[in-house]
Every structure is written in C-alpha cells, then in structure tokens.
Structure 1
C-alpha cells in the first residue's frame, strides 16, 4: 500500500498506518496482548516546512502509544517514515508520580460491561433494588474516566468507573433511567472490581427518553423547503489537503486525538499570501461536574485526552449535518489493533450565505450593499452522551471564527421528584441533571505576518471628568503588552480583547499588522482552587495563555491526561526555559516579538433545563479572530452586486 502523503502536515494515511504497524512488528514491539492506544503525527519542524517544496521527499515521525493489556505497561514508540525505522522507545511512567494512563481503547468499553455484570456485589446491589436477570441483561454499564484522587488502590493501575443505566427494551435510551448511588471502580488490566459504592437507593425514573419518530409522533408539515443551490459549482478548490477559497489558503489535517487540524492559514491581500496562523486546533476540553454526590463528584471528563475526539468523529451525512454543495475529507487512524480505520466523510466543507457584509445609503442615491458568505470546515465527535461539533468559519473580510456546538443528551441522576438540589436541576419527573461546564481550549500557533509575534491586552477605559475629560464624554483604550508567558482573564465590562501582532511588519499607517481575538468571556473553571480537577485542568483556570513555541507542546493538559495527578501541560509550557546567554541561566521563553502560541479557553456553563430533554438543542460558544490593521482597507469592496428578487 502506498504511503499516499502529499504534504508534511497531512493527516496520517492508511498506507502510513499500515507501515508503522509493520515496522513495530518487525522490531518485536507487538504481540497478542499489545494494543494501539494512541497514534499521532509528530509536529514537523518549522524550518523543515519552510524549506520543503512540492515534489520533495516527505519525512514524517509518528508516535504510537503501545499498551500491553496483560500487564498495563505502555511504551511510546516513534517511527520514522519513509525510512521505516524505530527512532525511539520510551516507557510511559504510569506507576510513577504524577502518573497518567493512555486514553481508553474501544474494546475496553465492552470489557467494562462484562466485568460489572459478572460482579457479585454489583448484582447484589441490583437485587436490593428489585432488578432481576432480565433487567440486568438490558442494563448499560457506562465506561467513565475516574479522574485522580490519590487512592492507593487506583494509583498506577488502569482504572475506570462505571455507572449503571437501565433499558426497557434493547432500543430504549438508557440515559433516562439512571440507577442512582451505585458506582463501580474497575481495574481493566486484571479485569477485577476494585470497589463498589452503594450510597443510597432512589427510584429509577420510569419515563422514557426516546426521541425517534415512533416516540415523538408525526413530524410537522408546516415548514416549506429551503433550497441551497450553486449551479456553477463551489468557489473553493481542493488539491489534496490544500484548500483555496477567495483570499484564503489553508490545509486540512486530522488527528486521532485533536480531530480537525488546520495548517498554513494565510490571506492574500493582493500582494501575495500572508501568513496568519501556522496551525490551529482544539486539542483538549474538560467537562467538570458540580455535583457533590458519591455518584458524580469525581466526574471531570477530558474528551480528547481520555477518549480521543478524532477517534470518535462521526461520518457526516449530506442534507442535515452539512447542507449545500459539499466537499468531504475522510479521516484515517489506527484502530486498537494498529490497522488503519477510515472514517468516511469525517470533515465537511461548504460555503454558506451569511447576510449583509457591508451596506450604506446616501440621500438621493441608490443604496449599495454586498452580501457576506463564509467557508465552513467542520466535524462532529460523539463521546458517550454528548456530541460536539467544531466549526471553523472563514469570512470574505479576513475574519476567522471558531464555533463549538454542544448537543446530545445531558447526563442525569435520579432524585425524589419535586425536590430542590443546589447542584442539579429536575428536567423530567425524578430525573436530575447536574450543573457542569464544557471548557474547550483552542491552540493557535500564531504566524501573523511571520514568526515574530506579540500579544497586547486591550481594555476600554473610562476617564473621570477633569482636565483629561472636560465635558465628561471621553473614554479611551489602553494597551498592555504581554511580556512574560502566562495566563490572562477576560473582562467583558472592560471590553477586553487581545491583539496578536507582527513585530516586523507595519501597514500603510505605520502601525503593526494585527489580528484581534474577541472572547465571549464566559466563566472559566468554577471548581475550588484546591480541587483535584483544578490541578489536572489548570489550562481551564484562565481565558488566555501565551507561551513560547514548543514543537511537542500540543496538549494543554499534557500528553498523559487519564488518571494524571495534575500540573502537566500549560503550567510546564509557561515555565519552560528559553535560551540563556553564555554563562547565564535561561529565563522563560520570550513571548514579545517571538514565535508564540496563543491558547484560548471558552465554553458554556450548563445549568440544565427541561427544554434540554430528551435531546439537547445546540449550545453555541466560541470566539472571533478579526484583522486589525492587518489589511489597509476593507478587502471586500470588489464583491459583485448579487441583488436578486429571489
């Protein structure tokens, strides 16, 4: 099978995945109990990318986490292609502080179900609730990451927890029927139950949570069709992974862990394509729950680091997931056995109308206006009960937007109907959904007009009436340069934004060219500062982080998130030393006029409501990146007049 790769930043190909397995097998690193827990393309060096030209040989390094399911030991093996050599092998120190396990395998989900249902203590707890063999056979034992709490019987072991949900029939939605108070902790390596917690018995909610046509009834007939047509075809072109649309150029990649990855994002202002972002992705998210019950206090899922966002990507369907004239990209990744798995149509790309871009009417003259449109590049991942859509939008005026769409089914427990609880809300009779957050972290490898960038924090400032404001009407803005690596907080009352600018290029007004990051400024992590999740998800305690570039620094919570005690990821990137002068100690890496990475945390804090049941309407969150002096004038003045009576 050909390696089939056409650019150094392309996602892995089936040929490469097969070749890596072949090389690892030849090196004696595989066996009947060894599984592929993770496989990622190592970030190509920037100097190599700058020098590479189409047609030249492509060198790639692929990191594979090999998990021996018989012993629980893991090894990170790096294979160099096309040479076909094992460049390095490194033991994953899962039994040494601060610990950390590889993400879960798909095959371990079924293993959890079998282990739980065979356990006598769990069966006894189910019997106490009046559930017999028929109910047990239909039960769903959810495989849930356990977090880290320093328990001696979990440290160094590949642990997972399980909550139980019931089904009335094989097709029934289990999320409507939680068995409250029953938690099982499992050692996956040895297939044994470490602990069963039976906190209390609460009646299981009886009302179903199904939302298919049979449950909902006839569909409404009042909606008239909306037809989206492009009779002359799309405005974009695709060459391998490269996409060109109007002034934009970028490459579409895909990662087993991050999902959609965009590389080499640039905008052509008529003088040539100017770089904006070297690489952009959403490499992590955390979903911490605010419930104090034994059943859920430990829940704080890291959907990328514990489960893999890309591995759980959907195969998208024309007509609902994406509407219009669509171009799809397939995704390729290693299955648990190391053989290539293809997710067809994992990434969707299309254009869509976006209303008015600019408009003005002069008295006595015809009104002039132009319509906006945007290029949409998106994918969806389903992690258990939740579905997450990640939509990158590119606009004709040079704006970039990221929108995360959270939908699916809220995670519920059971309580006495009608009772009030400070940490959960009743959304159906006896069904209570805990308060929780969805905190996404975008990684923006900045390249605004080159590799020497800075960040200014820009606030709106009131001025007291006085010599500087004689009439009381004045206000101004204040710029504060970020000179040290670290985290920053949004402040909507000050209209706070962050400007990512070039330290080398200026516009025709003599000002640095910049892109403005506009946050939504919603809450960051609400858990207490000394909570275990605050150490593990330190990235989620600030809205913005600025770090000096590190080639292997991709994941804001670190590489081994599962059961990690915390402190990895952004805290270590912030503290990473730069190059000291001769004889001098190295200080932190430079972020003022340097090669920098901007990390932005955003997302909803969810107090569930009845309207979120039985399937949740999309909750939107995200941010904007707008050109701010990057261009000398409105770049969309030359758009055609598309006025039409239709």
Structure 2
C-alpha cells in the first residue's frame, strides 16, 4: 500500500483485528459523525438500521493475522421523519467518507418500508390514545381510565386496496392493563383496530366491530402473583473445575476440532463465520457463513384484527436489535463466555447489548458405546458447544441455538416461547381459527417459519448439491424376498426449491468439487430437515407473495452478495421479493459457491397449557458429515470412567 492510499483510520483504531469482527461502538459513532458532516443526517433524520458491509470473500480468505489493510464500511438506512423519504448510504469508517448513496423508492411498486424505530412504537401509541374515536370505543366498553392500556403497534402487511401503499403505516390493537404491573395480554379489546400514518401522525382509519366484553380474569406468571415456588426440585450444579475446553481470541473460537468466528448484527442477530473442522493436522472448511436472517409469523384467522398479520420479525422489527442481555443461571448454565454486541439506536448512536451471545459446553449423553462379550464395555460421553442468543419481539421470545458436536455434526435449534397473541370471545365460543385457551380468551392458529441461510464451503467454495431419497423395490427379480430397498441421489443442477418428504427420507447433500474421501466419493455434508408444514396461506394471498421463502423447505442458489435476506431488504409493506424471484433466473449450482436456504418451524394450534406464558416450542435441523471424514472422528474422546475429575481422587463408574 502506498502512502497516498493509506486509510484515514485503520481498523485496529476501532478495536477491529479481522474483517469479520463485529461492528464496534467506535465504528457506529464514526459513521454517524461522517453522515452528519456530509449533511446526510439531520435533526429530523432517523436510522432504522445499520448493518456491516460484508467484506469480499477473497479478501477474508486472504487475510493475514495482524494485517490492517482492509476496509470497514457500514450500510446505513436513513429515514426522514418529516417527509417519509428513505435513503441508504454506505459509509467507510476506514476512509472517513460516504462511498455511496441511493434513494429507496418506497412510493413506487413494489414499495417497501424500512424497519420500525423503537420510538415509533411509543409514537403510534400516543397517536391512537389521543384519537377521540378510540377513546369513545374504549368508553363504550366501560373503560374510561386508559392510562395503563397497551396499544400494541404492529406491522400492517401489504394490502394495496386500502390506498396507503407507499405510506409509512402501522396497525395498532389494544390490550387493557387495569393497573400498573397487570398482564395486558390477558385483556384483549376485541374488534378495535387503528391504522396509523406515522409520517402524518394521525389515525387514518379506526375499525370498531367489538361487542365482546373485555376478559377480566387474572392471568399472571411472575413470582409475586404465582406464589411460593415448589421446593421439590433439588439443586443441579454444573462445574468445570479446570475451566472450559474452548479458547477465545477476539471473535475467533476454537473448541475441540471446531473453529469459527462469532459475529452479530442488528437484523440477523448471531452470525457464525468460517466454520471449519480439524481433520488430523488440517482445518477443513464446512460453512463460510451461517445465520437465521428471516422469519415470518403468519396467522390463520379471518377476524378483522388478525387476517392481515404476517410479521417478519427480522425484516420488519430487527431480531438483533431486540436481543436480550443474557443472565447466568437463567439463560445459560455452566462456565460461560459472553460476547457483547453493539447495534445502533434510532438516532444512529451506538446501543450496546451486554452479554448478547452466550457460549458454553453441555453434556449430551452417550456419544458412542459398545459392549463385547467378555470384554470391558467401551462408552464415550457426548459433549456439545452451544452458542445462543434470545430476542424478544412484542409478545414472543425467540431463542436461536447453534450446537457443535464432537462427531462433526452441527444442529440448529430455535426455541419459541413468550405469550401467545390472543383475542376475546364469549366464553364457550367455538372458533375454527382460534381455540379458546382460557375463559373468553381465544388464541388464533399461526405459524413460526424460520429461514436459515447456509453459505456452504465444504472443502472450499466449489460445491454442488444433491437430493437423496429412499427407494422401495417391488417384489421381483431385483427383490425376490421383498425386503430390499435402496436410495437414489439426484443432482440439482440449477437453482431450485424443494420440499421435505418424511416417507422418502429426503435429505440434501452439499458435495465438494475437488476433494474425495477414502472410498473415492466427493466429500460432503448432509442437511437433515426436521420439517413441519410449509406456509399454510393460500397461493395468491398477500402472505404467500411476501413470504415466498416459506412456501418450500429448501432453496438452493449460487452465492450472490446482494442476496442476503430471503424476503428481500425491506419486507415491511412490500408487495413481495426475495427467493421466489431470485430463482427465476435459473442459475447453475454445479461446481460453484452454493447457498442453502432452509425453512422450518412450528405450526401452532394454541392449547390451554400455553397460557399465560408458553413453554418452549422447539424446531430446527441437522448438518452432518457424510463422507466428509474417513472414520468416526470421536474415537479419541477420553473414557471418563478411567479419568479423574473434579480435581479429586474420585473416579466415575460405569458399573463394571
């Protein structure tokens, strides 16, 4: 690098040592200063989203430890609150300049709006509660003291017939909190919905169809209401007297044979980069980048207060920005390493999230075991590395857990909990779309459909994709006894969408172009779905057009840096974008840089046991080495029955 090309501020001056490090508070502060100085950010400008600009793969793969010669840039969404105009700016904090600007055409088809600001939730509530029609509707229900009422602002979906396409809108439902500390979700105000123009600052439409009484039951879940906790559970202690087995160097994590870099951003939350598995003396790449960048929560109720609901919790609300600060003993057990994260607030200032990501080890039962007659049994215990974060979006809480196993497997698991979204009905009401889960409280059927983005790199970036199915063989010359079956592998040659089939045991393989295993086959990783129903909304519906990714369990595309979010950049009030559009190009996915997009998640018919707070609902998938290695990589795991532990003389016993 010549002197004239030297960066104004090298990455290390912002606390960054690698191109894939998380965005720092110093970088966000610098980006804001640059935008203010350039006139792009004024008193009326708000910042719905700041994301890191992903560095080019060749730059990352060629990076040398200690080098300070790479650029760090942020992509900043700018919203003018007085006019509703939206721009995006790319800011190099390394060079200290705005590299690019573009207007976001929110006023023309297919429209779209930036993610919601935190301050807009409070503003929408104030606008609704000041509306005389809303006040009259509450009074008609006998509610005159609305000081504790909760006006829940919600993404409105896309319905152009309403005439507000291109406007920054939000819908608000009402829940009545009778007193400070009351559970508002237990008191839904049926049939009352406000459509708010956030730019104009007014309720443009108020619907009041409710004659149903507001439920008045006491439904609480906090200790001060539940009473004394049970005493039958005895303490369960998790200790690692010699410390954890993982090592952390900045964003780099090493655990047993696994190596990866931990990232985090405002939209996707936790991102895992450059995941590799050590085979002998070689770190072999498995995945270049893994995240869950989108999810949709479509509701299956025809009621006026719910038919339009299909929340995109990442693209409309920002999962990462809504991340929790995790607590030892509550969210995580054991010897914990936390990663702090920093996102931007509504004004573009750094907003730290301490302990955003938790990392620890867990015992996971038996790894492998065999007993040979007359010989001592051989058994090894499994252990996994856990990286997780939780985000709270309104009434729901979502946990995202990545598990790494000693045998080379990776599991992704989501945990949905929180409070189910409810409406009101006459007690004893039968509703085919919303079962009664408590007297007068109806909870509509809905889905939580997550989409994982897996930028694969199985032994390098040149990969292909195959689909495998089990095949039964009719009784005849090829199956004289009727017991035989086999399997069939089909190459997927161009980008496509596919669906799981449990009867066929359908799975997908990402294979290496240039590497063979010990039996001469391409090395591979296998995606094993734990798939539920696909999107239940009908073709042609607004939800189906906007959430095309949810219509199939698997999408396979070639890598494109611009294709990062499966529902597009701005799904809020957007007519539809993303995977369903991208695959129409028919690009090749043979011997190239391949991305798998896997959709999964629960379809929820609520039950009384989900009330007033819902036990965790699990969903996810597995990635397993399939011919990636030449033998079981966990043969050298210690036999703890022969090993001292806890720093004392006691030895574990397997009963022999």
> Counterparts of 2:169 and 2:455 in 1: how far apart (Å)?
34
Matches within 5 A, 1:136-285: 136-285=146-295
Residue in 1 aligned with 2:17?
6
1:15 is aligned to 2:13: no
Q: Is the 8 A contact 2:433 2:444 kept in 1?
A: yes
**Corresponding residue number in structure 2 for 1:400:** 410
Match of 1:546 in 2: 556
Equivalent residue in structure 1 for 2:594, among 596, 600, 603: 596
* Deviations, residues 459-496 of structure 1 (Å, cap 9, x unaligned): 11111100110110000001111111121000001111
The counterpart of 2:90, out of the listed 78, 95, 115, is 78
Using the alignment, how far apart are the partners of 1:105 and 1:524 within structure 2? 30
Question: Which SS does the other structure have where 2:503 is aligned?
Answer: helix
How far off its partner does 1:4 sit?
Answer: 0.8
SS in 2 for 1:297: coil
**Who is 1:561 aligned against?**
571
Partner of 2:36: 25
Tell me, in whole angstroms, the C-alpha distance in 2 between the residues paired with 1:358 and 1:106.
49
Q: Contact 1:153/1:194 (CA < 8 Å) preserved in 2?
A: no
State how far apart, in whole Å, the 2-side matches of 1:224 and 1:436 are.
Answer: 37
Aligned pairs for 1:314-393 (under 5 A) are 314-393=324-403
Task: Specify every segment of 5 or more residues in structure 2 that has no aligned partner in the other structure, as ranges.
Answer: 1-8, 642-651
Q: Deviations over 1:154-192 (max 9, x none)?
A: 111100000000012110111000000001000001101
Q: Which residue of 2 aligns with 1:637?
A: 635
Task: Report the 3-state secondary structure (helix = DSSP H, G, I; strand = E; otherwise coil) of the residue aligned with 1:597.
Answer: strand
With 215-224 and 45-54 compared, the bigger mean Cα shift is at 45-54
Please give the secondary structure, in 2, of the residue aligned with 1:492. Answer: coil
The Cα offsets for residues 332-386 of structure 1, whole Å up to 9 and x where unpaired, read as: 0111111111000000000010000000000111110000000000000000000
Deviations 1:306-351 (A, max 9, x none): 0000000000000010000000000101111111110000000000
Q: Which residue of 1 aligns with 2:100?
A: 88
Contact 1:43/1:552, CA 8 A, preserved across alignment? no
Q: Is the 8 A contact 1:180 1:202 kept in 2?
A: yes
In 2: Cα distance, 1:139 partner to 1:454 partner: 55
Matched, 1:575 2:584: yes
Rounded Cα–Cα distance in structure 1 between residues aligned with 2:162 and 2:443: 31
1:107 pairs with one of 119, 126, 131 = 119
* Distance in 2, Cα, partners of 1:507 & 1:392: 27
Instruction: Give 1:573 shift.
Output: 2.4
Q: Give the TM-score normalised by the residue count of structure 1.
A: 0.97
Task: Pick from 53, 63, 66 the counterpart of residue 55 of structure 1.
Answer: 66
Contact 1:180 1:204 (8 Å CA) reproduced: yes
Please tell me the root mean square deviation across aligned C-alpha atoms, in Å.
Answer: 1.0
Offset at residue 58 of structure 1 (A)? 2.5
Q: Which residue of 2 aligns with 1:120?
A: 132
Aligned length: 632
Structure 1 residue 593: Cα displacement: 1.3
TM-score (norm 2): 0.95
C-alpha offsets along residues 583-609 of structure 1, whole Å, 9 cap, x if unaligned?
A: xxxxx3220111110000000000000
Tell me the secondary structure at the aligned position of residue 620 of structure 2: strand
User: CA offset at residue 152 of structure 1?
Assistant: 4.8
Q: CA deviation at 1:572?
A: 3.0
Q: Displacement of 1:61 after TM fit?
A: 2.2
> Which residue does 1:40 correspond to in 2?
51
Show the counterpart of 2:479: 469
Residue equivalent to 1:493: 503
Following TM superposition, the consecutive aligned residue runs of length 4 or more in structure 1 with deviations greater than 2 angstroms are none
1:209 CA drift (Å):
2.2
